[in-house]
Amino acid sequence: MTKPSAPHTGTLTAQDVQQWLTGKLAERLGVEPDRVDPDKYFDEFGLDSTEALVLSGELEAWLGMELEPTALWYHPTIAKLAPYIVSLKQDT
């Protein structure tokens, strides 16, 4: 089980989200963050639906906002999800 992240404060960038997601996936996979390809689909990392929901919940806690449960499926890579999240955060 991964330790919770401190909530993000300040201006959020796609790079921030990408780094956070890369770090979390690297931690889950037991690899260095530079081994996590941001263009690889989440399911290619071996995330099943339960693990995707856990990751989404951790991401929500870090962001301080709720995401729709299907966000990781409609934006299935780190590179696609990061800018989507930034756009949501800017709308709030």
pLDDT greater than 80 at residue 6: no
Q: What's the whole-model pTM score?
A: 0.84
Looking at residue 1, what is its pLDDT? 45
Domain 14-91 has CATH 1.10.1200.10: yes
75 three-state secondary structure: coil
Residue 38: exposed, middle, or buried by beta-carbon count in 10 A (0-12, 13-18, 19+)? middle
Q: What does the mean pLDDT of the chain come to? A: 88
Residue 77 is given by DSSP the state: B
Q: What residues does each domain of the chain span? A: 14-91
Check if the beta carbon of residue 36 is closer than 8 Å to that of residue 26.
yes
Q: What is the pLDDT of residues 60-81, one digit of tens each?
A: 999 999 999 889 989 999 999 9
Looking at residue 89, what is its pLDDT? 84
